[in-house]
Amino acid sequence: MDKLLVVKIGGNVIENRVALLDFLKDFAALEGPKILVHGGGKEATQMAKKLGVKVKLIEGRRVTDAQNLNLITMLYAGKLNKTIVAQLQALGCQSLGLSGADGNSILAEKRPVKPIDFGFVGDLKTVNNSFFDLLLKEGISPVCCALSHDGNGQLLNTNADTIAATVAASLSNHYEVHLLYCFEKNGVLKDLNNDNSIIPSLNESDYKNLKTKGLLHTGMLPKLQNCFTALKKGVKYVRIGNPKMITESGTYTQITN
Protein backbone atom coordinates (compact mmCIF):
# COMPACT_ATOMS: atom_id res chain seq x y z
CA MET A 1 0.00 0.00 0.00
CA ASP A 2 1.15 3.56 -0.71
CA LYS A 3 1.91 5.82 2.22
CA LEU A 4 -0.53 8.71 2.77
CA LEU A 5 0.13 11.65 5.09
CA VAL A 6 -2.86 13.33 6.72
CA VAL A 7 -1.70 16.53 8.41
CA LYS A 8 -3.89 18.66 10.65
CA ILE A 9 -2.75 22.21 11.34
CA GLY A 10 -4.27 24.09 14.24
CA GLY A 11 -5.90 27.49 14.29
CA ASN A 12 -3.14 29.15 16.30
CA VAL A 13 -0.55 28.39 13.61
CA ILE A 14 -2.93 29.72 10.96
CA GLU A 15 -3.26 33.03 12.80
CA ASN A 16 0.48 33.61 12.57
CA ARG A 17 1.33 34.47 8.94
CA VAL A 18 5.02 33.70 9.26
CA ALA A 19 4.43 30.38 11.04
CA LEU A 20 1.77 29.44 8.49
CA LEU A 21 3.97 30.15 5.47
CA ASP A 22 6.83 28.29 7.10
CA PHE A 23 4.57 25.30 7.65
CA LEU A 24 3.17 25.44 4.10
CA LYS A 25 6.71 25.42 2.66
CA ASP A 26 7.42 22.21 4.57
CA PHE A 27 4.07 20.70 3.56
CA ALA A 28 4.56 21.57 -0.12
CA ALA A 29 7.98 19.89 -0.08
CA LEU A 30 6.64 16.57 1.25
CA GLU A 31 6.71 13.79 -1.33
CA GLY A 32 3.85 11.43 -2.08
CA PRO A 33 0.10 11.60 -1.46
CA LYS A 34 -0.89 14.05 1.29
CA ILE A 35 -3.98 15.73 2.71
CA LEU A 36 -4.08 18.93 4.75
CA VAL A 37 -6.87 19.63 7.26
CA HIS A 38 -6.96 23.09 8.81
CA GLY A 39 -8.67 24.56 11.83
CA GLY A 40 -10.22 27.97 12.08
CA GLY A 41 -8.63 30.20 14.64
CA LYS A 42 -9.89 33.17 16.55
CA GLU A 43 -10.82 35.35 13.60
CA ALA A 44 -14.38 33.97 13.68
CA THR A 45 -14.85 35.42 17.17
CA GLN A 46 -13.33 38.75 16.17
CA MET A 47 -15.49 38.99 13.06
CA ALA A 48 -18.62 37.98 14.99
CA LYS A 49 -18.03 41.01 17.21
CA LYS A 50 -17.58 43.34 14.25
CA LEU A 51 -20.74 42.07 12.57
CA GLY A 52 -22.75 42.05 15.78
CA VAL A 53 -23.23 38.27 15.62
CA LYS A 54 -23.72 36.83 19.09
CA VAL A 55 -21.58 33.90 20.15
CA LYS A 56 -23.55 31.61 22.45
CA LEU A 57 -21.79 29.08 24.63
CA ILE A 58 -23.31 26.11 26.46
CA GLU A 59 -21.05 24.42 28.99
CA GLY A 60 -18.12 26.29 27.47
CA ARG A 61 -18.88 24.97 24.00
CA ARG A 62 -19.85 27.16 21.11
CA VAL A 63 -23.35 26.92 19.64
CA THR A 64 -23.45 27.23 15.84
CA ASP A 65 -26.59 29.13 14.90
CA ALA A 66 -27.35 30.14 11.29
CA GLN A 67 -25.44 33.43 11.55
CA ASN A 68 -22.39 31.80 13.08
CA LEU A 69 -22.46 29.07 10.43
CA ASN A 70 -22.46 31.75 7.71
CA LEU A 71 -19.52 33.41 9.35
CA ILE A 72 -17.58 30.18 9.67
CA THR A 73 -18.34 29.28 6.05
CA MET A 74 -17.00 32.65 4.91
CA LEU A 75 -13.85 32.42 6.99
CA TYR A 76 -12.96 28.73 6.92
CA ALA A 77 -14.10 27.69 3.43
CA GLY A 78 -13.52 31.17 1.98
CA LYS A 79 -10.68 33.25 3.30
CA LEU A 80 -8.53 30.68 5.15
CA ASN A 81 -8.96 27.78 2.74
CA LYS A 82 -8.33 29.85 -0.39
CA THR A 83 -5.38 31.69 1.14
CA ILE A 84 -3.77 28.35 1.99
CA VAL A 85 -4.46 26.85 -1.45
CA ALA A 86 -3.12 29.94 -3.27
CA GLN A 87 0.06 29.77 -1.15
CA LEU A 88 0.49 26.05 -1.80
CA GLN A 89 0.12 26.60 -5.55
CA ALA A 90 2.84 29.28 -5.35
CA LEU A 91 5.03 26.67 -3.64
CA GLY A 92 4.45 24.20 -6.49
CA CYS A 93 2.00 22.03 -4.60
CA GLN A 94 -1.04 21.21 -6.75
CA SER A 95 -3.83 21.45 -4.20
CA LEU A 96 -7.60 21.79 -4.00
CA GLY A 97 -9.67 23.33 -1.23
CA LEU A 98 -12.68 21.41 0.04
CA SER A 99 -15.65 21.78 2.31
CA GLY A 100 -17.46 18.50 2.98
CA ALA A 101 -20.02 19.45 0.32
CA ASP A 102 -17.38 19.72 -2.41
CA GLY A 103 -17.23 16.45 -4.26
CA ASN A 104 -19.57 15.17 -1.53
CA SER A 105 -16.28 14.57 0.24
CA ILE A 106 -17.45 14.48 3.87
CA LEU A 107 -21.01 13.58 4.81
CA ALA A 108 -22.37 14.16 8.30
CA GLU A 109 -25.64 14.33 10.17
CA LYS A 110 -26.77 17.24 12.28
CA ARG A 111 -26.19 16.48 15.95
CA PRO A 112 -29.46 15.67 17.78
CA VAL A 113 -30.86 18.69 19.64
CA LYS A 114 -31.06 16.69 22.87
CA PRO A 115 -29.57 16.74 25.47
CA ILE A 116 -28.00 20.00 24.23
CA ASP A 117 -28.79 21.84 21.01
CA PHE A 118 -25.42 22.86 19.58
CA GLY A 119 -27.06 24.09 16.37
CA PHE A 120 -25.55 23.38 12.95
CA VAL A 121 -22.91 20.93 14.10
CA GLY A 122 -22.20 17.76 12.15
CA ASP A 123 -21.35 14.28 13.41
CA LEU A 124 -19.44 12.55 10.64
CA LYS A 125 -20.95 9.65 8.70
CA THR A 126 -19.09 8.94 5.48
CA VAL A 127 -15.89 9.95 3.73
CA ASN A 128 -15.96 9.76 -0.07
CA ASN A 129 -12.87 7.57 -0.46
CA SER A 130 -13.09 7.30 -4.24
CA PHE A 131 -13.17 11.08 -4.59
CA PHE A 132 -10.11 11.54 -2.37
CA ASP A 133 -8.43 8.68 -4.20
CA LEU A 134 -9.11 10.29 -7.59
CA LEU A 135 -7.42 13.51 -6.46
CA LEU A 136 -4.47 11.82 -4.76
CA LYS A 137 -3.79 9.58 -7.76
CA GLU A 138 -3.60 12.75 -9.91
CA GLY A 139 -1.06 14.28 -7.53
CA ILE A 140 -3.59 16.75 -6.15
CA SER A 141 -3.47 17.46 -2.39
CA PRO A 142 -6.91 18.01 -0.85
CA VAL A 143 -7.06 20.88 1.66
CA CYS A 144 -10.05 20.33 3.96
CA CYS A 145 -11.64 22.95 6.18
CA ALA A 146 -13.79 22.23 9.21
CA LEU A 147 -17.11 21.99 7.38
CA SER A 148 -19.14 18.93 6.47
CA HIS A 149 -22.62 18.71 4.90
CA ASP A 150 -25.72 16.60 5.47
CA GLY A 151 -26.49 15.76 1.84
CA ASN A 152 -29.73 17.73 2.09
CA GLY A 153 -28.27 21.14 1.39
CA GLN A 154 -27.10 21.95 4.90
CA LEU A 155 -23.48 22.78 5.68
CA LEU A 156 -22.38 21.75 9.19
CA ASN A 157 -19.62 22.90 11.50
CA THR A 158 -17.34 19.98 12.40
CA ASN A 159 -14.24 19.84 14.56
CA ALA A 160 -11.12 19.81 12.35
CA ASP A 161 -9.36 17.20 14.56
CA THR A 162 -12.32 14.87 14.04
CA ILE A 163 -12.31 15.50 10.29
CA ALA A 164 -8.60 14.63 10.14
CA ALA A 165 -9.06 11.43 12.18
CA THR A 166 -12.12 10.32 10.20
CA VAL A 167 -10.58 10.98 6.78
CA ALA A 168 -7.37 9.22 7.89
CA ALA A 169 -9.30 6.20 9.21
CA SER A 170 -11.48 5.94 6.13
CA LEU A 171 -8.56 6.05 3.71
CA SER A 172 -6.58 3.47 5.68
CA ASN A 173 -8.33 0.83 3.55
CA HIS A 174 -6.49 2.20 0.52
CA TYR A 175 -3.28 3.58 2.02
CA GLU A 176 -0.81 3.19 4.86
CA VAL A 177 -1.96 6.34 6.64
CA HIS A 178 0.22 8.49 8.90
CA LEU A 179 -1.79 11.06 10.86
CA LEU A 180 0.04 14.12 12.19
CA TYR A 181 -1.56 16.69 14.47
CA CYS A 182 0.50 19.88 14.37
CA PHE A 183 -0.07 22.60 16.92
CA GLU A 184 1.80 25.31 18.81
CA LYS A 185 3.22 22.96 21.48
CA ASN A 186 6.06 20.49 21.13
CA GLY A 187 3.88 17.49 21.88
CA VAL A 188 1.70 16.28 24.72
CA LEU A 189 3.39 17.87 27.74
CA LYS A 190 3.77 16.54 31.27
CA ASP A 191 3.91 20.11 32.50
CA LEU A 192 2.11 22.76 30.44
CA ASN A 193 4.54 25.39 31.72
CA ASN A 194 7.54 23.46 30.48
CA ASP A 195 7.72 23.21 26.68
CA ASN A 196 10.41 20.55 26.94
CA SER A 197 8.41 18.15 29.12
CA ILE A 198 7.28 16.18 26.08
CA ILE A 199 5.78 12.76 26.71
CA PRO A 200 7.60 10.68 24.05
CA SER A 201 4.92 8.03 23.74
CA LEU A 202 1.37 7.71 25.03
CA ASN A 203 -0.99 4.76 24.86
CA GLU A 204 -4.65 4.53 25.83
CA SER A 205 -3.94 3.15 29.30
CA ASP A 206 -1.42 6.00 29.97
CA TYR A 207 -4.08 8.39 28.73
CA LYS A 208 -6.71 7.04 31.13
CA ASN A 209 -4.28 7.24 34.05
CA LEU A 210 -3.24 10.81 33.30
CA LYS A 211 -6.85 11.82 32.70
CA THR A 212 -7.98 10.36 36.02
CA LYS A 213 -5.19 12.22 37.80
CA GLY A 214 -6.19 15.44 36.03
CA LEU A 215 -2.74 15.74 34.50
CA LEU A 216 -3.88 16.42 30.93
CA HIS A 217 -5.01 19.79 29.62
CA THR A 218 -8.77 19.57 28.95
CA GLY A 219 -8.24 20.76 25.36
CA MET A 220 -6.06 17.69 24.79
CA LEU A 221 -8.73 15.13 25.76
CA PRO A 222 -10.89 15.15 22.59
CA LYS A 223 -7.74 15.35 20.43
CA LEU A 224 -6.35 12.22 22.08
CA GLN A 225 -9.67 10.43 21.77
CA ASN A 226 -9.58 11.16 18.03
CA CYS A 227 -6.07 9.67 17.92
CA PHE A 228 -7.09 6.39 19.58
CA THR A 229 -10.16 6.07 17.37
CA ALA A 230 -8.00 6.57 14.27
CA LEU A 231 -5.51 3.92 15.40
CA LYS A 232 -8.31 1.43 16.13
CA LYS A 233 -9.72 2.02 12.65
CA GLY A 234 -6.48 1.15 10.90
CA VAL A 235 -4.36 4.30 10.79
CA LYS A 236 -0.74 3.17 10.87
CA TYR A 237 0.62 5.82 13.23
CA VAL A 238 -0.48 9.02 14.92
CA ARG A 239 1.69 11.83 16.26
CA ILE A 240 0.94 15.10 18.06
CA GLY A 241 3.66 17.74 17.87
CA ASN A 242 4.90 21.03 16.52
CA PRO A 243 4.64 21.90 12.79
CA LYS A 244 8.30 21.02 12.15
CA MET A 245 7.40 17.40 12.89
CA ILE A 246 6.33 16.93 9.26
CA THR A 247 9.97 17.38 8.18
CA GLU A 248 11.09 14.86 10.82
CA SER A 249 13.06 17.67 12.51
CA GLY A 250 10.29 18.62 14.95
CA THR A 251 9.28 17.12 18.26
CA TYR A 252 6.18 15.06 18.97
CA THR A 253 4.38 12.55 21.12
CA GLN A 254 3.82 9.20 19.46
CA ILE A 255 0.31 7.94 20.18
CA THR A 256 -0.01 4.18 20.34
CA ASN A 257 -2.77 1.71 21.10
Residues 6+ apart with CB under 8 A from 72: 40, 44, 64, 146, 147, 157
Task: Considering the complex, state which of residue 84 and residue 210 has its C-beta at the smaller distance from a second copy.
Answer: 84
Residue 86 C-beta: closest distance to a second copy, Å: 4
Give the number of C-alpha atoms closer than 13 A to the C-alpha of residue 165, restricted to the C-beta side.
Answer: 24
Residue 53 C-beta: closest distance to a second copy, Å: 10
Task: Considering the complex, state which of residue 51 and residue 192 has its C-beta at the smaller distance from a second copy.
Answer: 51
Residue 72 C-beta: closest distance to a second copy, Å: 9
Residue 158 C-beta: closest distance to a second copy, Å: 13
With CA atoms as reference, report the closest residue to 35 among 73, 9, 17: 9
The number of beta carbons lying within 10 Å of the beta carbon of residue 57 is 8
The residue length of the chain stands at 257
Task: Considering the complex, state which of residue 24 and residue 240 has its C-beta at the smaller distance from a second copy.
Answer: 24
With CA atoms as reference, report the closest residue to 6 among 125, 122, 126, 163: 163
- Alpha-carbon torsion (116, 156, 171, 88), positive or negative: negative
Task: Write the interaction track for a second copy spanning residues 135-174; mark x where CB under 8 A is met and - where it is not.
Answer: ---x-x------x-x-xxxxx-------------------
Q: Does residue 115 have a cis peptide bond before it, meaning omega lies within 30 degrees of 0?
A: yes
Residue 197 C-beta: closest distance to a second copy, Å: 37
Residue 231 C-beta: closest distance to a second copy, Å: 31
Residues of this chain, 44-103, that bind a second copy according to CB under 8 A: 47, 50-52, 70, 73-79, 81-83, 85-87, 89-90, 94-99, 101-103
β partners of residue 37 = 8, 144
β partners of residue 107 = 126, 149
With CA atoms as reference, report the closest residue to 27 among 187, 128, 143: 143
Residues of this chain, 111-140, that bind a second copy according to CB under 8 A: 134, 138, 140
Task: Considering the complex, state which of residue 71 and residue 210 has its C-beta at the smaller distance from a second copy.
Answer: 71
Residue 163 C-beta: closest distance to a second copy, Å: 15
Task: Write the interaction track for a second copy spanning residues 13-42; mark x where CB under 8 A is met and - where it is not.
Answer: ------------------------------
With CA atoms as reference, report the closest residue to 40 among 128, 163, 139: 163
Interacting residue ranges for a second copy, rule: CB under 8 A: 47, 50-52, 70, 73-79, 81-83, 85-87, 89-90, 94-99, 101-104, 134, 138, 140, 147, 149, 151-155
